[in-house]
């Protein structure tokens, strides 16, 4: 039994380079169009499921606002300079540590 790939591969082997490029262009366009069509169908199904469950799609998709991390460190010389203790250590704090201070000196 011959598989589909072998049949198409034989047909493609007989085509010129220009014919193959034209086929590739048509195939690329067909893929883009199919993605649009299938995306619309999936979105329709999702909307129906959400509506049937008593929700709007916006309610399900919207992210909850993230809580701001509390400030844990403050620069005694400039109270506007703060740090939550997350992420990269701020330059003002690193400079103080380089001068010999301890991180705990700036804890709130």
**Count of helix runs (H) and strand runs (E) in the chain:** 4, 2
Give the model's pLDDT for residue 46. 92
Domain edges within the chain? 4-61, 73-106
Residue 83 neighbours by CB distance under 10 Å? 20
Contact criterion met (CB below 8 Å) for 96 and 77: no
Element (H, E) at 19: helix 17-52
Question: Considering the entire predicted model, what is its pTM?
Answer: 0.45
Each residue's pLDDT tens digit, 11-68:
888 899 999 999 999 999 999 999 999 999 999 999 999 999 998 888 888 766 778 8
What pLDDT is attached to residue 1? Answer: 47
Length of the chain: 108
C-alpha–C-alpha distance, residues 99 and 31, integer Å:
61
Give the pLDDT confidence score for residue 2 in this predicted structure. 58
Mean pLDDT of 7-11: 77
Q: Over the stretch 67-77, which tens digit does the pLDDT of each residue have?
A: 888 999 999 99
Q: How many Cβ atoms are within 10 Å of 61's Cβ, its own excluded?
A: 10
More confident: 33 or 7: 33
């Amino acid at each position: 039994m011959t598989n589909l790939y072998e049949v198409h591969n034989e047909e493609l082997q007989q085509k010129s380079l220009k014919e193959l490029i034209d086929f590739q262009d048509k195939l690329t366009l067909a893929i883009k169009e199919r993605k649009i069509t299938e995306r619309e169908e999936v979105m329709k199904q999702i909307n129906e499921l959400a509506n049937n469950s008593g929700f709007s799609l916006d309610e399900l998709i919207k992210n909850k606002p993230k809580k701001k991390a509390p400030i844990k460190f403050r620069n005694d010389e400039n109270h506007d300079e703060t740090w939550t203790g997350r992420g990269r250590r701020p330059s003002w704090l690193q400079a103080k540590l380089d001068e010999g201070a301890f991180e705990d000196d700036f804890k709130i």
